[in-house]
C-alpha cells in the first residue's frame, strides 16, 4: 500500500494541533514561561540555535518528532552516509558528506571505498593551490597568476562565490577572485575588462564539459587569451574541474590540470569538492580544510544526535510546521554579517532546486506543499526594503537571523548597533504592538485624541511572526562550514518528510531544451518547431530589432 504523507496519523494529529495553535499568541507563551528560550534552544560548538520564537509548545515538538520517526528519517540519514543510492531517479549515491569526511571512515559505492579518490583529489588541490599562491605555477610569460576567474553556473558558481566572500578576511592579499556564470555577455565582458591576461588563471567548472553557459563563457575567455598571448598560453592559464578528459584536452587544457569529482556529488552540494578550487586558492588549503572540518562536525552531529537535540532535524521540522500546517510558504534568511551577503542566494538554489518537486517517491503527484520560497539579504540593509512586509504584511514570513558575536571589523560601536538591530527585529516580529499599545504610545507622545484615533491602527503590528536566531562567535572557516552543512541537512530532512527526491533537478532541463531549439531560429530564418503565438511573435520582434 502506497504511503500518502498528508494522510498518515502523525500528519493528521499535527493538523488538529495546529488549529488550536493558531489561536495562541507567542508573546503569551513567553510571558507564561521564563524558561522558554532555554527549552527551545540547541548548541553545537560555538553555534547557538534559538527556535523559541516559533508558534510551538512542547507538545508541538513531540508531534513533529513523531512525524520524523514515522517517516523513517533515522534510517534515511544512515542510508545517505553509508552511500546507498538514495537519489532514486538517477540511481546515484549522495555523498557530499564524504567530501568532508575528516574522520576518513571508509565509504563504499559499488564496492569501492570512495575516500581513496577523494583524498587524492584533496592532495592534488593542495599541491596546485599552493603552487599558484606561492608563484610556483606561473603564467605563459612567467608572471605570477594573481587573478583567479571561476567559470561555472549553479552550484559550480554559487558555492565558490559565497565562500570566497564569506571568508574574505582569510584571503591572500595578492589574489583577486572573479566569477563568471551568466550567459549574458556582460558577465564575461565586465570581468575581462578588469584583468590582465598574463596574470590570469581561468578555472572552468563543468562535470561533462558540455554545459552551454559555462562552455560559451569559457570559449570567449579562451579567445581573449589567445588574442593576447597565443594558443600555446591556454595550457598555462586554464584548468578544468570535470570528468570529461577528452573534451578538456580538446579545449587545450593539460589533463594533469584537470580535477575530478563524481556523480555522487550534486552541483549545489559541490563546493566541498574540486569545485572549491577557487576557494582553496583564495584562502589557502589549510583554511579550506578547516571549512571541511566544520561541515564534518555538523555531519557527525546530524548522524549521531537524538532528534530532540539535533539542530538540522529541528530546523527542518520547524520549517515543515510553518509551511505545511500554518501555510507559510516562504522564508527569509537575513545574515547580520556583510561577508555572508551571498548566503541567501546560495540557499535559494539549495532549497528551491532540491525540494521544489511535485512527484513523490511513490511516483504520485503530491497533494501537499513542498519546497519553500527562499529570499533574503544582509541586515541591516534589508530592514529598509522587505522588512515592512514582515512587520505589517497580511501573511507572516518566517525569518532566519544569523549573527556573529564578534565582527572581523570591530569599528567603533558598529557591531553593537548591528547586534542590537538583529535582536530587536526578532523580538519585534514576535511581540508586535497592539492597537491599544499604539494608542497609549501616541497619547504619551502628545498627540491629540483625533490623531491617536487616526494613527493607532497604522502604528500597530500584528506580531506572532516566527523566526529562528543563530548566534556564532565569529564567521571563520570552521563555523562557516558548520553553517552551510546545517542547511544542507535541513533540506534533506524536509525531503524525507515530503517523500520526494531532493537530489535530482529535472526542472532545470525543460527550458534549456526549448532554448536549444529556439537558438537556430534566432540565428536564421527557419522555424524549427511550432510555438504558441506569443513566443513566435516575440522571436520575430527580437529578430527585427536586431536587424
Instruction: Give the active site residues.
Output: 353, 384, 512
How many residues in the chain?
A: 547
Q: Are 271 and 488 in contact (CB under 8 A)?
A: no
Please report, for residues 138, 178, 361, the alpha-carbon distance to residue 146 in angstroms, rounded to integers and kept in the order given.
Answer: 10, 11, 48
Count CA atoms closer than 13 A to 502's CA, side-chain side: 29
Cis geometry, peptide bond prior to residue 380 (ω within 30 degrees of 0): yes
Cα–Cα distance, 349 to 491 (Å, whole number): 11
Instruction: Give all strands (DSSP E) within 296-372, no chain letters.
Output: 330-335
Distance CA 80, CA 227 (A): 48
Give the whole-angstrom CA distance, residue 325 versus residue 318: 10
Three-class secondary structure of residue 177 per DSSP: strand
Residues 6+ apart with CB under 8 A from 435: 456, 457, 460
In the block, residue with C-alpha cell 578528459: 245
Q: Which of 322, 314, 307, 434 is nearest to 54 (CA)?
A: 322
Given the DSSP bridges, would you call strands 176-180 and 147-151 parallel, antiparallel or unpaired? parallel
The DSSP-derived string for 478-511 is HHHHHHHHHHHHHHHHHHHHHT--TT--GGGHHH
For Cα atoms 367, 372, 377, give the angle at the middle one, nearest 5 degrees: 170
Amino acid at each position: 500500500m502506497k504511503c500518502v504523507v498528508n494522510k498518515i496519523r502523525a500528519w493528521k494529529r499535527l493538523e488538529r494541533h495546529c488549529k488550536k495553535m493558531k489561536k495562541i499568541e507567542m508573546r503569551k507563551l513567553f510571558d507564561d514561561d521564563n524558561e522558554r528560550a532555554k527549552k527551545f534552544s540547541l548548541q553545537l560548538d560555538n553555534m547557538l540555535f534559538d527556535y523559541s520564537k516559533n508558534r510551538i509548545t512542547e507538545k508541538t515538538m513531540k508531534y513533529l518528532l513523531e512525524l520524523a520517526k514515522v517517516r523513517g528519517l533515522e534510517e534515511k540519514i544512515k542510508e545517505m552516509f553509508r552511500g546507498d543510492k538514495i537519489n532514486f531517479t538517477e540511481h546515484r549515491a549522495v555523498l557530499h558528506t564524504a567530501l568532508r569526511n575528516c574522520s576518513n571512515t571508509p565509504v563504499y559505492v559499488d564496492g569501492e571505498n570512495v575516500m581513496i579518490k577523494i583524498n587524492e583529489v584533496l592532495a592534488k588541490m593542495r599541491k596546485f593551490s599552493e603552487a599558484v599562491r606561492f608563484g610556483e605555477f606561473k603564467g605563459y610569460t612567467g608572471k605570477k597568476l594573481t587573478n583567479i576567474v571561476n567559470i561555472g553556473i549553479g552550484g559550480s558558481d554559487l558555492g565558490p562565490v559565497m565562500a570566497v566572500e564569506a571568508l574574505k578576511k582569510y584571503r591572500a592579499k595578492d589574489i583577486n577572485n572573479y566569477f563568471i556564470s551568466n550567459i549574458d555577455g556582460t558577465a564575461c565582458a565586465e570581468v575581462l575588462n578588469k584583468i590582465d591576461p598574463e596574470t590570469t588563471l581561468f578555472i572552468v567548472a563543468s562535470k561533462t564539459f558540455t554545459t552551454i553557459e559555462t562552455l560559451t563563457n569559457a570559449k570567449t575567455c579562451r579567445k581573449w587569451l589567445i588574442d593576447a598571448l597565443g594558443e600555446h598560453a591556454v595550457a598555462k592559464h586554464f584548468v578544468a574541474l570535470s570528468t570529461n578528459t577528452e573534451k578538456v584536452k580538446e579545449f587545450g587544457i593539460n589533463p594533469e590540470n584537470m580535477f575530478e569529482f563524481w556523480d555522487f556529488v550534486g552541483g549545489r552540494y559541490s563546493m566541498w569538492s574540486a569545485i572549491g578550487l577557487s576557494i582553496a586558492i583564495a584562502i589557502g588549503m589549510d583554511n579550506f580544510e578547516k571549512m571541511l572540518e566544520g561541515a564534518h562536525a555538523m555531519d557527525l552531529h546530524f548522524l549521531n544526535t537524538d532528534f530532540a537535540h539535533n539542530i538540522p532535524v529541528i530546523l527542518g521540522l520547524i520549517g515543515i510546521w510553518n509551511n505545511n500546517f500554518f501555510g507559510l510558504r516562504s522564508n527569509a534568511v537575513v545574515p547580520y554579517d556583510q561577508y555572508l551577503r551571498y548566503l541567501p542566494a546560495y540557499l535559494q538554489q539549495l532549497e528551491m532546486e532540491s525540494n521544489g518537486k511535485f512527484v513523490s517517491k511513490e511516483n504520485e503527484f503530491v497533494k501537499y506543499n513542498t519546497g519553500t520560497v527562499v529570499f533574503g539579504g544582509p541586515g541591516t540593509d534589508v530592514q529598509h526594503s522587505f522588512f515592512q512586509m514582515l512587520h505589517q504584511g497580511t501573511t507572516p514570513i518566517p525569518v532566519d537571523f544569523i549573527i556573529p558575536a564578534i565582527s572581523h571589523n570591530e569599528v567603533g560601536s558598529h557591531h553593537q548597533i548591528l547586534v542590537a538591530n538583529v535582536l530587536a527585529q526578532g523580538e519585534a516580529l514576535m511581540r508586535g504592538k497592539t492597537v491599544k499599545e499604539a494608542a497609549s504610545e501616541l497619547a504619551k507622545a502628545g498627540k491629540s485624541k483625533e490623531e491617536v484615533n487616526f494613527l493607532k491602527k497604522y502604528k500597530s503590528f500584528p506580531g506572532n511572526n516566527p523566526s529562528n536566531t543563530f548566534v556564532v562567535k565569529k564567521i571563520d572557516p570552521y563555523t562557516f562550514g558548520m553553517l552551510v552543512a546545517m542547511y544542507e541537512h535541513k533540506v534533506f530532512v524536509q525531503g524525507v518528510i515530503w517523500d520526494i527526491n531532493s537530489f535530482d533537478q529535472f526542472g532545470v532541463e525543460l527550458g534549456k531544451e526549448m532554448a536549444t531549439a529556439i537558438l537556430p531560429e534566432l540565428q536564421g530564418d527557419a522555424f524549427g518547431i511550432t510555438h504558441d503565438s506569443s513566443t513566435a511573435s516575440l522571436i520575430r520582434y527580437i529578430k527585427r530589432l536586431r536587424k
